[in-house]
C-alpha cells in the first residue's frame, strides 16, 4: 500500500515562481526522502530529512517535516524550466536497517517559460 500521499497531483507555475509540494504519511518513520524523476528516466535523490529534524535546506530546496501531523513539504524556490519533472516523497519505516522505501504517487511539476 502507498504510505505517502502527495498533494497536489499536478502543479503548473511560471518560471521564477516558487513551487510547494506536500506529502502525508501514515506510520512512524526513520526518515523521509524526496526524489525527482524526469520523464522516462530513473529517480534522482534530492534530500533526506531524519525524523528528529524539522527543516533542511539544499540549494534552492527547502524541506520541512512535521512528525505530529505526519506530513512534509518540499519548496523549490526561483523555479527554472529544468525543474520540470515528477517529484516523489518516500518514507523509510524499516526497523531492520534495510531501507525499504514506500513512495507516494508523486507531484507532476511543470515550469512554464
User: In which residue are the cell numbers 534522482 written?
Assistant: 44
> Within 13 A of 91's CA, how many CA atoms are on the CB side?
25
Least distance from another protein to the Cβ atom of residue 53, Å:
10
Question: Which candidate, 47, 51, 29, places its Cα nearest to that of 87?
Answer: 47
Cβ proximity to another protein, 46 vs 111, nearer residue: 46
* Site residues, another protein (CB under 8 A): 1-2, 4, 30-31, 33, 35, 40-45, 48, 50, 88, 90, 92, 94, 97-106
Cβ proximity to another protein, 65 vs 106, nearer residue: 106
Amino acid at each position: 500500500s502507498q504510505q505517502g500521499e502527495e498533494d497536489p497531483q499536478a502543479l503548473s507555475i511560471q518560471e521564477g515562481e516558487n513551487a510547494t509540494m506536500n506529502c502525508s504519511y501514515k506510520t512512524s518513520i526513520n526518515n523521509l526522502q524526496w526524489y525527482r524523476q524526469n520523464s522516462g528516466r530513473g529517480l534522482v535523490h534530492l534530500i533526506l530529512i531524519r525524523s528528529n529534524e524539522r527543516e533542511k535546506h539544499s540549494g534552492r530546496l527547502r524541506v520541512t517535516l512535521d512528525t505530529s501531523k505526519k506530513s512534509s513539504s518540499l519548496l523549490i524556490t526561483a523555479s527554472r524550466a529544468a525543474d520540470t519533472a515528477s517529484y516523489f516523497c518516500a518514507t523509510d519505516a524499516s526497523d531492520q536497517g534495510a531501507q525499504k522505501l514506500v513512495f507516494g504517487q508523486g507531484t507532476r511539476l511543470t515550469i512554464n517559460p
